[in-house]
């Protein structure tokens, strides 16, 4: 069963096995977490992303899915790229957001990662309300990491890295609620 930890900070500075990138489906970079990861991680990450676009993901990585690359110069071994849904008032896309966390942890398990750092996926440029994004993140990670022995994830620590104090406090409140 994994420990869920919260830290306030920058995801590109986390010394963990895998850091999760709030990517977009092009896999070719963007703003927010994505921009920071490519800036700090260097060109190797983008080079692998381009190879993924030339092979398995010619049409881009679908929303809710996850795929790993090297972490380049980041103090991590892998970057797991996942594409969060853009928040919508009209349509409930929660299952896609939950899928990002579930699929990222599945990829982490395939890699043998024991420590994984997540940002608050979709809560930046993609506009997801922070409290709901935190509730979905924590619920999904708990479900995956607390499954029966042999069925659950082998990840020991899931670290949520919150960029500002508000996000940290919202996650803290959600963690205390459950
Ligand atoms: P999305 O497009 O999925 O909304 P963003 O990268 O815009 O992704 O934002 C996701 C969350 O990550 C937001 O809460 C944002 O404040 C936060 N964030 C932005 N940069 C970083 C960073 N370097 N480390 C950790 N969190 C970050």
Quote the CA–CA distance of 116 and 4 in Å, as a whole number. 10
Please list the active-site residues: 34
Looking up tokens 């306030």, which residue turns up? 8
Quote the CA–CA distance of 18 and 68 in Å, as a whole number. 9
pLDDT at 147: 78
What's the full length of the chain, in residues? 178
64: left (phi over 0), alpha (psi -120 to 50) or beta: left
**Ligand 1 proximity of 74 Cβ (cutoff 6 Å):** no
pLDDT, tens digit, 9 for 90 and up, residues 127-172:
999 999 999 999 999 999 987 667 778 899 999 999 999 999 999 9
Looking up tokens 């963990």, which residue turns up? 16
| Domains detected in the chain | 3-177 (3.40.220.10)
**Predicted TM-score (pTM) of this structure:** 0.97
Report the nearest-CA residue for atom 23 of ligand 1. 10
pLDDT at 170: 98
Looking up tokens 């409930």, which residue turns up? 92
**Ligand 1 proximity of 108 Cβ (cutoff 6 Å):** no
- Ligand 1 center to 124 CA (angstroms): 5
pLDDT average per 10 residues of sequence, the chain (178 residues): 94 98 97 98 98 97 98 98 98 98 98 98 98 98 83 90 98 92
Query: Which atom of ligand 1 has the smallest separation from the CA of 120?
Result: 11
pLDDT at 152: 74
CA 171 to each of CA 60, 80, 86, 132, 138: distance values in angstroms, whole numbers, following the listed order: 30, 21, 20, 10, 8
The C-alpha R_g of the chain, in whole angstroms, comes to 15
Strand 78-83 with 3-8, pairing: unpaired
pLDDT at 148: 64
């Amino acid at each position: 069963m994994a420990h869920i930890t919260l830290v306030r900070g920058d995801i590109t500075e986390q010394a963990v096995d895998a850091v999760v990138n709030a990517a977009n489906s092009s896999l070719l970079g963007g703003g927010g977490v994505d921009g920071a990861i490519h800036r700090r991680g260097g060109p190797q990450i983008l080079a692998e992303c381009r190879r993924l676009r030339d092979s398995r993901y010619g049409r881009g990585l679908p929303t809710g899915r996850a795929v790993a690359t090297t972490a380049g110069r980041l103090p991590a071994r892998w970057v797991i790229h996942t594409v969060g849904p853009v928040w919508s008032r009209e349509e409930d896309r929660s299952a896609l957001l939950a899928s990002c966390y579930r699929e990222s942890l599945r990829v982490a398990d395939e890699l043998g990662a024991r420590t994984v750092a997540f940002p608050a996926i979709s809560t930046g440029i993609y506009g997801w309300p922070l409290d709901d994004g935190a509730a979905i993140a924590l619920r999904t990670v708990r479900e995956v990491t607390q499954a029966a022995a042999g069925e659950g994830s082998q990840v020991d620590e899931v670290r949520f890295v919150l960029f500002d104090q508000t996000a940290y406090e919202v996650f803290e409140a959600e963690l205390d609620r459950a």
